Amino acid sequence: MTSFDIVVIGAGIIGSSVAYHLSKAGYSVALVEKGDIAHGTSSRCDAVALICDKKPGIDTEMGFKSIQLYKELAKEFSFDFEFSSRGSLYVCETEQELEIAGDYVAQQRADGYDMKMVDNKELLEIEPYLAKDLRGGIWTEVDSTMNPYLVCFAFIEEAKKYGLKLFTNHEVREITQSPDGRVESVITDRTTIHTNRIVNCAGVWAAKIGQMVGIDIPIRPRKGMVLISEKTKPIVNQKVHEFGYMLSKFEDITYKRAVSKLVEDNNIAFTIEPTEADNFLLGGHRAFKGYDISSENDVMRGIAERAIRFLPILKDINCIRAYAGIRPWVADHLPIVSEVEEVPGFFIASGHEGDGISMAPITGRMVTQLITGQETDFNIDRLNFSRYKLLEKV
Amino acid sequence: MSDEKTIICRCEEVSLKTINDTVYQYSCSSREVKLRTRAGMGYCGGRTCRHVIDTIVADLNQKVITDDIQLSYRPPVRPITFGALGGVYHENESC
């Protein structure tokens, strides 16, 4: 009989980190995945760990702690995941954006985070190829980049040293429960694994796993496209994005940019990041299109149009490839990291939207703290699954 | 000719030996071989080597070689400048 202390469902970045942290803590862990490692969102994304795109408060606290953890892991792991703390830059097009950015930075600095406003001149000193008319921006030195799927491979290789067993190409079909509701086993298309603890790290597919134990997890797929440049000289040295990105991510900020209909209609905001391979990844885009990850011509055109506005040098650089992925979106933009009260032994670690890579280490750590009964690094009441039940009552 | 000198992916200069070693070590799919070695991720987007990688991996994993392509096709069909894509240059366009 196959039996494990804990079954982790989903070998994307969150499941990989959770499996690593639990294995290291001494549990016997099975990591079950319907495809290969990093088969879904974690290989169709960009890969930064930022604090500058987080809201002040717990969002930023988790992001910051995660970056510190990545720094330690990068030293500790024998598997290189191309981690580097390059910093990041937000750029503002208008005085109004600069003003909103200034308020945001003041708030983050008051909380002790090292973010700095830079003017037009400093901006061009940091990134000389940027358009000359930009007003200024935010520079965050601590922000970091890495390779998204290599991080997954790294977590799993390290976890194997502690005995992790990988079940790739196993699709979860059913979860059985004892009469008192506690989870009993995970049935895949190929085997049955007995366990009394399950961690649902299925990301955009988390709701499907939730249905198997009769709960409704309100995660929706939110699509995003990325364009890849040819290998070229360092046109930017770090992640650069327009401040409008912040405005497209959080729907509650009302601010309208002066952009073309194509850019507006497709919710496109400029981002670019360097990779170790000297290709650059360009985005970004957010749309609700179900599970569709086909490339859209309009979105590709819009991303290119917006990118040239901020980095005119791109005009003569080739785009070699495009891809799309889907982010696990939740309405309040905070991940669900929680045990589910009505299903003893069933935990959820999903719903990180575009912050999965960023928040993977802290999520793995907190899930382990929840399961071992230790106090979590932060008060994570706001990440509890029960927050959605409270909403229903309201 | 040794496996080390046989280049499968010319854009990223990935040798047959690297691909063989990766499949032996991780017993993985061609998609995972691509992610681990960068074979097929270069300038041509796998147009040249995609089929070869699929065949090598299927062969090593002793799977029946089918018509299914494991490594995905993605746009653009060939490299295009961001200028042309973003509408700054209207190459070969009637509008």
| Tens-digit pLDDT profile for residues B28-86 | 899 999 999 999 999 999 999 999 999 999 998 887 666 666 788 889 999 999 999 99
**Token pair for A159:** 């976890």
Q: Is A319 on the interface with B (CB under 8 A)?
A: yes
pLDDT at position B3 is 86
Note the pLDDT tens digit of each residue in A194-207: 999 999 999 999 99
Q: Which residues of B touch A308 (CB under 8 A)?
A: 82-83, 86, 88
Name the segment(s) of chain A with CATH classification 3.50.50.60.
6-44+149-219+333-393
Q: Pick from A227, A277, A323: which is nearest to B38 by CB?
A: A277
Q: Which residues of A touch B32 (CB under 8 A)?
A: 36-37
Q: Which residues of A touch B42 (CB under 8 A)?
A: 320
pLDDT at A262 over 60: yes
Query: Domains in chain B, ordered, with CATH?
Result: 7-85 (1.10.10.1100)
For chain B, give me the number of helices (H) and strands (E)? 4, 3
Over chain B, what is the mean pLDDT? Answer: 87
CATH top class, domain A6-44+149-219+333-393? alpha beta
Q: Name the strands in the sheet holding A318-329, side by side, starting at the edge strand that comes first in the sequence.
A: A115-119, A136-140, A88-92, A239-242, A268-274, A280-285, A220-229, A318-329, B80-81
Helices (H), A213-342: 244-249, 261-265, 297-310
Band of pLDDT at residue A137, cut at 50, 70 and 90: very high
CATH 3.30.9.10 fits A88-141+220-329, yes or no: yes
DSSP state letter for A233: S
pLDDT at position B92 is 47
Band of pLDDT at residue B2, cut at 50, 70 and 90: confident
Q: CB B32 to CB A37 under 8 A? A: yes
**Token pair for A60:** 């930023």
pLDDT at B95 over 50: no
Contact status, residue A261 vs residue A365, Cβ threshold 8 Å: no
Q: CB B81 to CB A321 under 8 A? A: no
pLDDT at position A126 is 96
Exposure string over A163-191, b if 16+ CB within 10 A, otherwise e? ebbbbbebebeebebeeebebbbbebeee
| Mutation site for A-interface testing, chosen from B82, B89, B91, B93 by largest number of A Cβ within 10 Å | B82
Please report the number of interchain residue pairs, chain A to chain B, with beta-carbon separation below 8 angstroms.
83
pLDDT at position A240 is 97
Q: Is A206 on the interface with B (CB under 8 A)?
A: no
Give dist(CA B26, CA A338) in Å, integer.
Answer: 33
Give dist(CA A192, CA B89) in Å, integer.
Answer: 58
Note the pLDDT tens digit of each residue in A71-109: 999 999 999 999 999 999 999 999 988 988 999 999 999
Q: Pick from A38, A39, A307: which is nearest to B82 by CB?
A: A307
Beta bridge partners of A318: B81
Q: Which residues of A touch B76 (CB under 8 A)?
A: 300, 319-322
Note the pLDDT tens digit of each residue in A298-344: 999 999 999 999 999 999 999 999 999 999 999 988 999 999 999 99
pLDDT at position B62 is 81
Taking the complete model, does pTM exceed 0.90, yes or no?
Answer: yes
Q: Which residues of A touch B41 (CB under 8 A)?
A: 277
Query: In sequence order, what are the residues at sequence separation of 6 or more whose Cβ sits closer than 8 angstroms to the Cβ of residue B92?
Result: none
Name the segment(s) of chain A with CATH classification 3.30.9.10.
88-141+220-329
Q: Pick from A149, A150, A304: which is nearest to B85 by CB?
A: A304
Beta bridge partners of A328: A221
Task: Specify the residue for token string 């990591």.
Answer: A31
